[in-house]
Amino acid sequence: MTPEQSAQGALPGPRHDPFFRAVTAPAFTHEVLADLAAGRCAAVRVPDFLSPERCREVLDALRGREFDSYGQARVDPPVMRFGVGVSDHMADGGVADSYWKALEGHHEAWRGLGLSFDPFRFAREALAAHWPAGAAIGRRGGRELGAGVAREPNQGFQVHFDDALREYTGDLLDVPLVGQFAFNLYLSVPPSGGETVLWRHRWQPEDEAYRLPASYGYDEAVVRGAESFELSPRVGEALLIDPRYFHAVRPSRGDRRIALGFAVGLGTSGQLLTWA
């Protein structure tokens, strides 16, 4: 074999899927959202999504508050959180009554921050700005779910995927979903570590052999050999990923890693529907 032949990929070696990439865009345009939904990219980054002043306002308000942690058996190492997430209130493939009860305290806690604007509304409006069918908070049984949470995975997130179609029996929301994204807006990032990693691997039944006991996460061997990329978040940046690709967050060193986050579904109505 000539060197030319091996350079053309005749030898086994890393291969690249041109659709498995992160795109940087000035805004969540119709095109990048359509590309993400269609699988023509795996992540969209929008730098300077939120102004430094507004980032600081939310961060300063959150810094003085006590964060809860996710259910500790399921989420280990612990991830701190301000606000209520539905993943802690799953019961029999549905949503436990405790979620709706906890949401009342959640709304009170966020109101108590005394922010000059609603960062989740801001994010929804920015997602909807170029999306004809718009965006709204998702509903279940007519009731609005939570708009978002602040999350602090200083010790990282295990390798995992998010897929409401697999996590819940039937439809989580009143509108069936034909696409899913995960939204993050970074308010504080560490000087090193804290990278978000995506692997070009989606759940398959054999992966359950790698599931960590009682956890949301998987042993990293589950993604062995899969193409991957790593993103170092910046303050003010928004990231939208297809969370059905396995992904993880690496441990942070030197500062807190705090992001506002929510799940986004593309409904059969064409609308973007958010929840946390």
Stretch that binds ligand AKG, among 47-55, 134-142, 243-251, 268-276 (CB under 6 A): 243-251
Q: Residue 196 interacts with ligand AKG (CB under 6 A)?
A: yes
Residue 114, burial from CB neighbour count under 10 angstroms (0-12, 13-18, 19+) = exposed
Q: Whose Cβ is closer to Fe ion: residue 57's or residue 75's?
A: 75
Q: Are 236 and 49 in contact (CB under 8 A)?
A: yes
Stretch that binds ligand AKG, among 28-36, 96-104, 221-229, 241-249 (CB under 6 A): 241-249
Q: Whose Cβ is closer to Fe ion: residue 89's or residue 160's?
A: 160
Nearest distance in Å: CB 182, ligand AKG? 4
Binding site for Fe ion (CB under 5 A): 162, 243
**DSSP track, 64-79:** TSPPEE--TTTSSS--
**DSSP track, 90-151:** EETTEE-HHHHHHHHHHHHHHHTT--SS-HHHHHHHHHHTT-TT-EEE-EETTEE----EEE
**Contact flags string 82-101 toward ligand AKG, x per CB under 6 A:** --------------------
Q: Which of 138, 141, 135 is nearest to 94 (CA)?
A: 141
Q: Which of 86, 97, 88, 96 is nearest to 275 (CA)?
A: 86
Member of 57, 76, 162, 237 binding ligand AKG (CB under 6 A) = 162
Member of 146, 148, 236, 261 binding ligand AKG (CB under 6 A) = 261
Residues lying near ligand AKG in the complex (CB under 6 A): 153, 157, 162, 182, 184, 196, 243, 247, 249, 259, 261
